[in-house]
Structure formats: structure tokens, C-alpha cells
Structure 1
Amino acid sequence: MQVAKKTGNRMASNIGIGSEASTTTMKLDNSCEIVRQLASTNAVVLFSMSGCCMCTVAKRLLFGLGVGPTIIELDHHVDGPDIQTVLFHLVANGQQPVPAVFIGGKFLGGIETLMACHINGTLVPLLKEAGALWL
């Protein structure tokens, strides 16, 4: 039995971990749970990178509609790279994983899907259904 080792700001325990692959799987499972928890407890969640111009477009669109999304800047989050890996698995055809938008606990998609929903008129009803808009 090994005692927990301090790694950076977090504590990591090697008890019951047989290989590096197991550690990676555990980190991805934890990151998947972080994404699931954030999406299910907030009306709108936007996973972003602080220097990403398309993330800025998504933020401005949502703020312009009167939505106050929960924004997770992955480059400032301790689990950012692992969360980005989870998001990469959610997007289709190798598209960019950020910005990633969740509305009402469901994965909407990236900037293309967000803009398409805005243009075709389905975004506002989705936001109202999720409780992010009241008007």
C-alpha cells in the first residue's frame, strides 16, 4: 500500500492502480464526470479557450441574447486538457472541441451548430426550454 503522493496542487493515490493506462482512464472518467455534472446543473455551459476567436463569437452571441452561460476556460482549468479530450470524443469528424456548448444538460455542439441554430430560429426556443431565457 502506498501513501498518497503530492503532485502539483492535487493529491494522487496510487492504491489499486496497475498501470499508466489505468491512471489515464481514471483521469478521463473524472473529466467526463466533471462535464456531466456541469452540464446537468447549469442551463447553458460553454467550454472555451481564452484566446480562441470562435469561443469569443459564441460568448458574444449568448450574451447578446441575454443568456448568462457558465463558462469554463479550459486553459485556466486544472483538468482542462483532460476535459478537452472528453469534448473531442463528443464532436463529430474531428472538428475542434471548443467552443463546446451544452444547453439543458445536452450537448448542442460547437460554433457551427450554435450559429446554425441561431440562424434557423431554433436556438431561442432551446434556451427558453432550458430555463436560460424567460422572454
Structure 2
Amino acid sequence: MATSVTIDSEASAASAVKLENPYQIVRQLASSNAVVLFSMSGCCMCTVAKRLLFSLGVGPTIIELDHHDAGADIQAVLFQLAAEGQQHVPAVFVGGKFLGGIETLMACHINGTLVPLLKEAGALWL
């Protein structure tokens, strides 16, 4: 397992910081990386999502919102994307599209649709 779970792509993170609108930050990060996981460093469900992706061989871009300058604003955007009653983190984007939170990620894994989705997005090559 990776020793550090904060795996921000330097180029993506640098370009995202220059953007003022949190919606643009989310959109830019999601569209420029195969898999993006918005997380909170102390969130146990975020850890579960990270471990699942790592175990599949995916190297997601992980944005720890509690360590990001625009973290609170990004959380507000993710809250709007989340279904009612769902937590807004972890928030997983695959292939530039919002997949969902931990429930959706686990459901896709269990029903066998996650790996093909990751392959299609270019996150897996096997």
C-alpha cells in the first residue's frame, strides 16, 4: 500500500488552484484525470474507497479537502452532486463523470461494473 494517501497530481492541482470557482476546480480535476477521489483525511469511508481503488491497481488523484485551500467551497459543490441522504465524501469521478460516493463505488464493485468502467476511463490497462 502507498505510504502517502495524498496523491495530488502536481500539474492538475496547480492548475486547479488558479481557478476561482469551486465548480471549475472540480470540473478541471475530474476531466484531466482518469479517477479522482475527493476525500477528508479523517473519514473512514474515504479510507475504504482509497483502499478499494488501490487494491484494483488504480492510482487515483486524491484531493484531501481538509488540506486544500478551497476545500470548504469544493465540499459545497460535492454536496450538491450527492444524492439526498448521501454523504458528500468520498466523491468519486471516473472518466470525467461523477460516479458517486462510497455506496455507488461499492455497488459497482460488487456487481462487476467497476473494473470495466475503470478500463474504459484509462485507469486500468489489464
TM-score by length of 2: 0.84
- In the alignment, the residues of structure 2 paired with residue 62 and residue 74 of structure 1 have an alpha-carbon distance, to the nearest angstrom, of 18
One-letter code aligned to 1:40: S
Give the match's secondary structure for 2:58.
coil
Question: Is the CA contact 1:88–1:94 (under 8 Å) kept in the aligned structure 2?
Answer: no
1:34-70 deviation line (CA, Å, top 9, x unaligned): 0000000000000000000000000000000000000
Aligned match of 2:49? 58
> Out of 92, 97, 101, which is 2:88 matched to?
97
Aligned-pair distance for 1:95? 1.5
TM-score by length of 1: 0.78
1:1-135 pair list within 5 angstroms:
30-135=21-126
Give the match's secondary structure for 1:38.
helix
Structure 1 stretches of 4+ with a deviation exceeding 6 A read none
- In the alignment, the residues of structure 1 paired with residue 83 and residue 57 of structure 2 have an alpha-carbon distance, to the nearest angstrom, of 29
Long gaps (5+) in structure 1: 1-28
> Which has more radius of gyration?
1
% identical aligned pairs? 86
- In the alignment, the residues of structure 2 paired with residue 101 and residue 133 of structure 1 have an alpha-carbon distance, to the nearest angstrom, of 16
- In the alignment, the residues of structure 2 paired with residue 99 and residue 54 of structure 1 have an alpha-carbon distance, to the nearest angstrom, of 7
Q: How many residues align?
A: 107
- Of structures 1 and 2, the one with the larger relative CO (CA 8 A, separation 6+) is 2
